[in-house]
């Protein structure tokens, strides 16, 4: 396991900076007049904020906790739910049940109620669908004239955190070579870059 206290102080600074970006966006930059998307976006940034603070206080070894997978799923589900609600509200009748069932399924698998292979499949399905929504909806919104090109920053942020999550999952399950430390050590920077993209996307759309 990697302990954040054994890495450079720059990691702590990066996590605090990422947390500050998430907090600023929650306080100043979320859309008004659309209650459900606003709640979803707030939840997404809130989870990122808490994740940064959690890593800052406890160290990267908290990634070994089973609940991390459940908490991590809230990020793509929240942002994808907000995007669907804001730009394609008619899709909410399908996406809300998917998000609820997916989150319950991941939590159920973390309690050991499902086989490890089925649990991994559940995580991959939820993250995959939510990731495609985060990537695709902003592109569609730009093409339809519903948002400015700056909204593509949301797509970039979603893609980056998605790739980071897949790298963590892949190394934990030994799908890809390398030490777990090699990926976890870069996680603070991945969180910061994700939040930079998301903040750009939400403020330039």
User: pLDDT digits over 39-98, tens only?
Assistant: 999 999 999 999 999 888 888 777 777 778 888 889 999 999 999 999 999 999 999 999
pLDDT of residue 184: 73
pLDDT of residue 6: 40
Q: Structure tokens of 186? A: 């870069």
Q: Which residues of the chain have pLDDT under 70?
A: 1-8, 31-33, 112-116, 166-183
DSSP letter at 60?
Answer: G
First to last CA, the chain: 40
31 Ramachandran zone, left/alpha/beta (phi>0; psi -120 to 50): beta
pLDDT of residue 81: 95
Cα gap 93→23, rounded to integer Å: 30
Supply the pTM of this predicted model: 0.88
Would you say 134 and 86 are in contact if contact means Cβ atoms under 8 Å apart?
no
3-state secondary structure (DSSP) of residue 63: helix
Would you say 113 and 104 are in contact if contact means Cβ atoms under 8 Å apart?
no
CA atoms within 13 A on the CB side of 62: 18
- Is the four-CA dihedral 135, 91, 198, 20 of positive or negative sign? negative
pLDDT of residue 182: 62
Would you say 154 and 138 are in contact if contact means Cβ atoms under 8 Å apart?
yes
């Amino acid at each position: 396991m990697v302990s954040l206290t054994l890495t450079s102080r720059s990691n702590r600074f990066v996590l605090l900076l990422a947390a500050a970006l998430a907090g600023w966006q929650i306080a100043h930059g979320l859309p008004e007049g659309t209650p459900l998307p606003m709640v979803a976006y707030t939840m997404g940034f809130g989870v990122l904020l808490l994740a940064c603070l959690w890593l800052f206080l406890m160290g990267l070894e908290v990634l070994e906790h089973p609940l991390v997978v459940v908490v991590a799923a809230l990020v793509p589900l929240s942002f994808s739910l907000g995007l669907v609600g804001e730009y394609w509200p008619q899709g909410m009748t399908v996406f809300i049940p998917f998000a609820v069932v997916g989150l319950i399924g991941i939590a159920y698998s973390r309690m050991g109620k499902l086989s490890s292979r089925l649990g991994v499949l559940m995580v991959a399905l939820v993250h995959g669908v939510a990731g495609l929504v985060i990537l695709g909806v902003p592109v569609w919104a730009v093409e339809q004239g519903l948002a400015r090109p700056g909204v593509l920053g949301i797509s970039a942020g979603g893609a980056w955190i998605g790739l980071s999550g897949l790298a963590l999952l892949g190394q934990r399950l030994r799908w890809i070579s390398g030490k777990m430390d090699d990926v976890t050590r870069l996680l603070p920077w991945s969180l910061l870059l994700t939040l930079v993209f998301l903040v750009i996307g939400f403020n330039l759309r």
